[in-house]
Amino acid sequence: MSQPTPDKPIQNSPYVVRLPIIISLTLAAGMLLGATFFSGGKKLTDVAKGYAKFREVLMLVENNYVDSVNTDELVDYSIAKMLEKLDPHTSYFNAEEATTARSQLESGFDGIGVEFNIYNDTVYVVSPLSGGPSESIGILSGDRILKVDGENLSGPGVTNAKVFKLLRGKRGSEVKLHIGRGSMKDGLDFTVVRDRIPTYSVDAAYMVDQEIGYIKVSRFSETTYDEFKTALSSLKSAGLKKLILDLRGNPGGYMERATSIADELISGNKLLVYTDGKDSRFDRKTNAKFDGMFEEGPIVVLADEGSASASEILAGALQDHDRALVVGRRTFGKGLVQMPIRLSDGSELRLTISRYYTPSGRSIQKHYDLGKGEVYNEDLTNRFNSGEYFSADSIKFDSTLKYKTDGGRLVYGGGGIMPDVFVPRDTSMNSKFLFELYAKNIIREYALRYVNDHKKVLEKQNFNEYLTKFNVSDAMVNELVQDAKKAGIKYNEKELNRSKPLILAQTKGLIGRYQWGRQRKDGLNNEIFQVLNPMDNVYQEAIKQFGKATDLEKGDFSSLNMTKEK
C-alpha cells in the first residue's frame, strides 16, 4: 500500500542506518524498532550485546556452515522476519523492491496496476489503480492473488520483488491471475493485459450540472495537488458552486498533497492534521496557511473501505471542521506514519515513527496487535462478513472514543473515518457471468473493437451528444454474448438480465473512453465516469445530500439528523 510519507527520504550514513536494524534483531518481540536509534538509547549496552551476538552468529555461518550461503540474503531475510513482529505497516524493501515501490508514486511503469500488501505470505490487493487494466476487468480491494501464470504466489518465499517480477512486464503482454475473493470456495481466473500505468491521480473532473462539480482523486502522488488545482480551477470557470470530492478506493500516498488540497478547501489557519510519536522530534502539526480556491460552497466527500491513509487525513480534516459531509462507508483505518530511510545499498526501511490524528483528536489507525499482520489484513473480510458494508447498524462505535467537530457534532475514533451519511455497498447487479466477462476482458475488447469498426460514425458527434443519445442495442449485447461464448464463458440468461444495466453502462462508458478519452492530454477519464456515476448508489446519494451539506457549512445542524453533544 502507498504510505503517506515525507517527500524525500531521510539520508543517513550507511553504518548509522544499518546498525540499529541489525541490532534490533536481538530485541524482544514487540519492542519498537529504532528506540535506541531515535531516542538516545537508554539500553545501549544491551543493544551492543545483541549486535555482537548477531554478528557472531552471522560470521559463524559464513565461515563454518557446510554449504555456501549468501549472507546478504540472510540479512535481508532476518530484517524482514524481525519486522513482522512490529506493526502491519513497518516494512523493508531490498534495493530492487525499493526502486519499484517508489515508482508507484513517482513515475509511470508497465504492469497490471494494483496497490498490494503481503501479509502472512499472501498477496492482498489494497486497491486496483484507477484507469489501470486490473480495475477494468474487475479486480477488487481485498482480493488475494494466489497464482500468476500458473505459478503460486502464496506461501513461504513470497516477496515484493517476486510480486513485481511476476506482475510487471511489457505493455500489451498478458498475465493470467488466479484470484481468491472473500469466502468464495472456488477462485476466479482473470487474464490481464499489461499496460502503461498512468501517473495521473485525478481521474475525473467535470460539471454534473450548472452548479455541481465532481472530482475523483485516485491516489496522492507527486503531481496530485497540481492536478487538483487545475481541475478545480477549470470547474470554477464552468460555474462551480457545489463540489463532490470522490476519495473512494484511494489508498493514500504523500501526506503533503492531501493537506495541500485540504488547505484549498478550509479557511483560516485551522489545524489539518497532527502526528504524535514516541520521539518528540516526529511530532508535527500542519495548519492551513493560504487562501484556497474553494473555501466557500458545500462539499460532499465520498469515502469507503478502500479510502486509506492520506485519504483519511483529508476526509477527517474536512469532517472535523464541519466543512464537508462525508457520504459512503467507514474508511480503511491506516493512521501510522512511515519514515522512509534509504540504506547504503539502495534498500529502504519504512519505519513507523508516529500516528496521525485528525483536528478533533481522533486516531485514524484501527486496532492491531504487534506481530499479527494476518489478523489485521482480515479486517476488510470481517467487515463484509459482519454486514458492515450493507447496514449502518452493524457498525459498532467505541463509546470511550468520543470527539467533537468544531460545531459540536459527535464523531468517533477507533479506526477510520465514519461517514455522516451511510450508503450500503450495492451488489444487486453482480453475478458470476459479469465477473467472468470482466475476468476475460470481454466488455473491454468488445468496446475497443466497436470503436475501431464505427470510428467514422462516432467522429460525427461530440461526447455530450453521444452521452445523451447513444444506447447500447440488443444486437450489440448479442454480439457481446457471442464473444463470451467463444471465450468459454457459459451463457446464463438469468445472470445476464441481472447484470444487464451494468453491462450496458460499462460498454457505453468504455466506447466513450476509447473514442474521446484517448484524445485527452490531461489524464482525465471523464467519459467513463459520466456514464457510470449516475448508476452509482453512493454518487446518487451524494447528489441528494447537498441540502444537508449546505446546512452543515452554515453551522445549522437541525436538519441533519446527526448526533450533537450538548
Going residue by residue through the chain, which has 566 residues, state the pLDDT in tens, using 9 for 90 and above.
Answer: 444 444 444 444 333 333 333 333 333 222 333 333 444 444 667 778 878 888 898 899 889 989 988 888 888 888 888 888 888 888 888 887 777 666 655 546 788 988 777 766 888 886 677 668 988 888 887 788 999 999 998 888 788 878 888 998 888 999 999 999 877 778 899 999 998 776 789 999 999 999 999 999 999 988 899 999 999 999 999 999 999 999 999 999 889 999 999 999 999 999 999 999 888 888 999 999 999 999 999 999 999 999 999 999 999 999 999 999 999 999 999 989 888 888 888 888 889 999 999 999 999 898 888 877 777 778 888 888 888 889 888 877 788 899 999 999 999 988 899 999 999 999 999 999 999 998 887 898 898 889 889 989 999 999 999 999 999 999 999 999 999 999 899 999 999 999 999 999 999 999 998 889 867 768 789 999 999 999 999 999 999 999 999 999 999 887 675 544 43
**Percent helix, strand, coil in the chain (nearest 5)?**
40, 20, 40
Residue 33 lies in a domain: no
Query: CB count, 10 Å around CB of 247?
Result: 31
Residues 137 and 252 in one domain: no
Query: Whole-angstrom Cα distance, residue 42 to residue 493?
Result: 70
Q: Which domain holds residue 115?
A: 108-197
Q: Provide the number of structural domains found in the chain.
A: 3
Residue 389 lies in a domain: yes
Query: Whole-angstrom Cα distance, residue 326 to residue 299?
Result: 9
Residues 158 and 260 in one domain: no
Whole-Å CA distances, 479 to 439, 454, 472 = 18, 15, 11
Catalytic residues: 309, 320, 334
Domain containing 138 — which CATH number?
Answer: 2.30.42.10
Instruction: State the DSSP H helix or E strand holding residue 76, giving kind and residue range, or none if neither.
Output: helix 71-83
What integer pLDDT is reported at residue 519 of this predicted model? 74
Residues 299 and 327 in one domain: yes
Q: Is 444 strand, coil or helix?
A: helix
Query: CB count, 10 Å around CB of 190?
Result: 24
Residue 53 lies in a domain: no
Residue 128 lies in a domain: yes
C-alpha cell read off for 302: 465520498
Residue 243 lies in a domain: yes
Nearest residue to 295 (alpha-carbon basis) of 553, 545, 539, 557: 553
**Burial degree of 456 (CB within 10 A; 0-12, 13-18, 19+):** exposed
Residues 182 and 269 in one domain: no
Whole-Å CA distances, 84 to 61, 389, 532 = 23, 29, 41
Residue 121 lies in a domain: yes
Query: Whole-angstrom Cα distance, residue 257 to residue 224?
Result: 6
Query: Whole-angstrom Cα distance, residue 185 to residue 168?
Result: 28
Residue 100 lies in a domain: no
Residues 226 and 286 in one domain: yes
Residues 451 and 393 in one domain: no
Ramachandran area for residue 312 (φ above 0: left; ψ -120 to 50: alpha; else beta): alpha
Whether the CB-CB separation of 412 and 401 falls below 8 Å is answered with: yes
Which amino acid, 397?
F
C-alpha cell read off for 214: 465532481
Domain containing 296 — which CATH number?
Answer: 3.90.226.10
**Burial degree of 171 (CB within 10 A; 0-12, 13-18, 19+):** middle
Whether the CB-CB separation of 10 and 257 falls below 8 Å is answered with: no
Name 111's bridge partners: 195
Query: Whole-angstrom Cα distance, residue 179 to residue 156?
Result: 18
Whether the CB-CB separation of 324 and 417 falls below 8 Å is answered with: no
Q: Can you state the angle between helices 432-439 and 493-515, rounded to 10 degrees?
A: 40
* Cα 38–Cα 41–Cα 46 angle in degrees, nearest 5: 130
Query: What's the length of the chain?
Result: 566
Which amino acid, 10?
I
What integer pLDDT is reported at residue 130 of this predicted model? 65
- Residue entry with cell 447484470: 499
Q: Can you state the angle between helices 160-167 and 95-106, rounded to 10 degrees?
A: 60
Query: Whole-angstrom Cα distance, residue 364 to residue 334?
Result: 6
Q: Which of 135, 164, 197 is the last residue of a domain?
A: 197
Query: Whole-angstrom Cα distance, residue 475 to residue 456?
Result: 20
What integer pLDDT is reported at residue 538 of this predicted model? 98
Pairing of the two strands 271-277 and 421-422:
unpaired
Residues 137 and 156 in one domain: yes
Residues 118 and 262 in one domain: no
Residues 311 and 446 in one domain: no
Phi, psi of 118 (to 5 degrees): -110, 120
Residues 206 and 286 in one domain: yes
Residues 249 and 386 in one domain: yes
**Burial degree of 112 (CB within 10 A; 0-12, 13-18, 19+):** buried
Helices (H), 109-266: 133-137, 160-167, 224-237, 255-265
C-alpha cell read off for 93: 524493501
Residue 43 lies in a domain: no
Q: Which of 182, 197, 212 is the last residue of a domain?
A: 197
- Residue entry with cell 470557470: 237
Contacts of 76 (CB under 8 A, 6+ apart): 92, 94, 347
- Residue entry with cell 508497465: 110
DSSP letters for 195-223: EEEP---EEEEEESSSSEEEEEE--B-TT
Residues 146 and 225 in one domain: no
